[in-house]
């Protein structure tokens, strides 16, 4: 059996303990930042949409030229629970990175703009944004007559035929 003893001055012991604790806290903070960064990347929600200019700019960033003012502004109440009739719509929102289930029971605003550069040249196509507390929480591109509906992102030209009816 071996016994090892060492004399360590108190200030070195305190400094060493502090260094170990600091390293441990830095590792925890780094892990937390990495995980929160992943969560943010998985969501399409955008904060800071305070007015019309920011909404139009947001849609322009997705490739859409829209009317300078909304053609409709509505206040909606997100249902407390979603029944089966919402399944397709919720799937569309989830595919875009939006989670409307987080906003059950909340009042949201829907701003609808007319799209002026739809690739097929079709008129009457609209982009709708769902906004909650200056945050985009959902949206879609739709034909005014209800013949198609798809996500906000402007897909590649060859996928336009893939727009679906919900």
Cα atoms in the 13 Å half-sphere on the side-chain side of 71: 13
Residue 38 has pLDDT above 60, yes or no: no
The answer to whether position 1 is within a domain reads no
Q: Say how far apart CA 7 and CA 20 lie, in whole Å.
A: 19
Residues 89 and 166 sit within 8 Å (Cβ to Cβ): yes
pLDDT tens digit sequence for 42-89: 457 899 999 999 999 999 999 999 999 999 999 999 999 999 999 999
Q: Are residues 113 and 136 in the same domain?
A: yes
Query: Which residues are bridge partners to 72 per DSSP?
Result: 112
If pLDDT is split at 50, 70 and 90, which confidence band does 157 have? Answer: low
Domain around 23 = 7-42
Whether residue 127 sits in one domain with residue 62: yes
Shared-domain flag, residues 33 and 107: no
DSSP reduced 3-state for 116: coil
| 2 is a domain residue | no
Q: Is the pLDDT of residue 34 over 80?
A: no
Tell me the whole-structure pTM to 2 decimals.
Answer: 0.69
- The residue assigned the tokens 């441990």 is 24
């Amino acid at each position: 059996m071996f016994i090892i003893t060492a004399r360590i001055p108190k200030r070195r012991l305190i400094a060493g303990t502090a260094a170990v604790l600091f390293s441990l806290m830095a590792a925890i903070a780094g892990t937390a930042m990495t995980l929160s960064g992943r969560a943010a990347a998985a969501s399409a929600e955008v904060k800071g949409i305070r007015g019309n200019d920011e909404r139009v700019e947001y849609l322009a960033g997705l490739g859409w030229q829209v009317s300078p003012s909304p053609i409709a502004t509505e206040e909606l109440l997100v249902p407390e629970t979603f029944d089966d009739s919402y399944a397709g719509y919720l799937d569309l929102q989830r595919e875009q990175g939006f989670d409307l289930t987080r906003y059950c029971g909340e009042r949201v605003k829907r701003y609808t703009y007319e799209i002026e550069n739809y690739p097929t040249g079709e008129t009457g196509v609209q982009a709708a944004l769902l906004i909650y507390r200056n945050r985009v929480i959902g949206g879609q591109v739709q034909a005014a007559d209800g013949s198609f509906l798809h996500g906000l992102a402007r897909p590649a030209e060859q996928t336009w035929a893939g727009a679906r009816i919900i």
